[in-house]
Amino acid sequence: MQYLPICLKLHGAPVLLVGAGTVATRKARLLLRAGADVTAVAPEACAELQALLQEHGGHWRQGCYDTADLEGKTLVVAATPVAEVNYRVYEDACALGVPVNVVDAPAYCNFIFPSIVDRDPLVVAISSSGSSPVLARQLRHRIDAMLPAALGRLAAFAGGLRDRVKQAIPDESARRLFWEKLLQGAVAEQVLAGNEARAEALFDEAIASGAKQSQGEVYLIGAGPGDPDLMTFKAARLLQSADVVLYDRLVSTPIVDMARRDAQRIYVGKRRGDHAVPQGQINQQLLDLAREGKRVVRLKGGDPFVFGRGGEEIELLARHGVPFQVVPGITAANAAACYAGIPLTHRDYAQSVRFVAGHLKDNSSNLDWGGMQSESETLVFYMGLVGLPVICEQLRAHGRRPDTPMALVERATREEQRVLTGTLATMVDIVASENPQAPTLIIVGDVVTLHPQLRWYGE
């Protein structure tokens, strides 16, 4: 993140605008709308800027920029057509510790103007960190079209009720849950429709019932293989509502960062041979947090019900009557195969697919190796990196051809994705040489031969 997005209160603040042409006028309009006391400095000023300043009580000093113009200013914007003047403003402002923006020159800005969707007091700002203002404006137009025009009225209505809600519902988690329900229900609809008297009556009813202790809930969410774009809408929405998020090492950082900033985050990751948080303790933690009235999200890599132990985690909740939801995710086999360009089934190569847990216990495996010999079936091994030598050895020992194609997909769907291809006879040596790191997925079968033609364009 190159810039920290903040909202700066400028009501009555003295702001310097160097320049008085068309570009400067655009900036002046924003600054004046925010209540700033704007002083423009330029030898000449366009008529529109002069009218704006006169209407809002701003000032125009006719003349060239001087360092003394910065005295007492909260921030400064340079928007002249002369690069030397803009650079001098930048240097002077930095020397005095005054935030400065040189229009269309990101290298000379320590603050920037985002594209804004204004539903006062609700404001949405979109920034590309100065790299693509056109893209930011396009996103602004999309968001603007999505948001009701009266959304600011709803924000103001809610703002006027904050003290009453805080008094009636002291617990922060319960209060957040109350607000989320209120702003998605009948009260919000009445405000948006302009019926604030009816909204007030509905609010009184809601606050009376909302002050009672509410029961928590658990959301078991499949986070997919790592790419945040593969999360479902429901998964993203529930993650945003969570008071507490429990996540493991298979969940990528960008997905964890989708949670609210004030949500408590608890790492419960496990590595092979190192279960820092035992599964039973995770199950109990979900139950205890829900009993405290919290909304709890358990983020699982892939899909919770495909080698994710999701059934174990909700079993305890069901036994104690705690409400829960399970949100499916894209399991690693589907995602890795798609991004690697390896169809799991194909009319000419494989008519079935089998998902297999490939991890070993006590350095051995009791899998049904004899049942995995069909040439028309694709095998997908989860958690098979450490057990790869055993997998290759046992498949060959029970009848699979040594030249059976094989692929290992490392960190599927992420920027660092890598696909290693070989055969049952060569893959162990390839892995020893390339040293891939978990998470990985192993695909065995003739469909692997399609990888060179169909591999994902981003690989």
CATH number at residue 165: 1.10.8
> Was 303 annotated as part of a binding site?
yes
Mark whether 243 and 174 lie in a shared domain.
no
Catalytic residue among 37, 69, 243, 248: 248
Look-up of token digits 């790299």: 131
For position 308, what pLDDT does the model report? 86
Mark whether 260 and 339 lie in a shared domain.
no
For the domain that residue 293 is a member of, what is the CATH number?
A: 3.40.1010.10
For residue 459, CA distances in Å to 219, 228, 287, 406, 414 come to 33, 17, 41, 18, 10
Task: Kindly state whether residue 26 falls inside one of the protein's structural domains.
Answer: yes
Please indicate whether residue 270 is annotated as part of the active site.
yes
Mark whether 299 and 340 lie in a shared domain.
no
Task: Kindly state whether residue 397 falls inside one of the protein's structural domains.
Answer: yes
Task: Kindly state whether residue 172 falls inside one of the protein's structural domains.
Answer: yes
Mark whether 428 and 407 lie in a shared domain.
yes
For the domain that residue 19 is a member of, what is the CATH number?
A: 3.40.50.720
Tokens of 93: 């402002």
Mark whether 251 and 309 lie in a shared domain.
yes
For position 457, what pLDDT does the model report? 47
Mark whether 23 and 81 lie in a shared domain.
yes
> Was 149 annotated as part of a binding site?
no
Task: Kindly state whether residue 251 falls inside one of the protein's structural domains.
Answer: yes
For position 122, what pLDDT does the model report? 92
Flag residues of the chain having pLDDT under 50.
457-459
> Was 81 annotated as part of a binding site?
no
Look-up of token digits 């003290």: 163
Mark whether 341 and 318 lie in a shared domain.
no
Mark whether 337 and 387 lie in a shared domain.
yes
> Was 383 annotated as part of a binding site?
yes
Domain end residue (candidates: 168, 195, 210): 210
> Was 231 annotated as part of a binding site?
no
Task: Kindly state whether residue 356 falls inside one of the protein's structural domains.
Answer: yes
Task: Kindly state whether residue 126 falls inside one of the protein's structural domains.
Answer: no
153-181 pLDDT, tens digit each: 999 999 999 999 999 998 887 888 888 88
In this prediction the pTM is 0.64
Identify the CA nearest to 351 among candidates 359, 339, 361, 343: 343
For the domain that residue 446 is a member of, what is the CATH number?
A: 3.30.950.10
> Was 43 annotated as part of a binding site?
yes
Identify the CA nearest to 10 among candidates 35, 30, 33: 35
Mark whether 200 and 227 lie in a shared domain.
no
Mark whether 323 and 360 lie in a shared domain.
no
Q: How many domains does the chain have?
A: 4
Mark whether 51 and 163 lie in a shared domain.
no
- State the residue range of the domain holding 18: 14-113
> Was 332 annotated as part of a binding site?
yes
Please indicate whether residue 262 is annotated as part of the active site.
no
Task: Kindly state whether residue 5 falls inside one of the protein's structural domains.
Answer: no
For position 273, what pLDDT does the model report? 52
Catalytic residue among 144, 171, 181, 270: 270
Mark whether 447 and 343 lie in a shared domain.
yes
Task: Kindly state whether residue 3 falls inside one of the protein's structural domains.
Answer: no
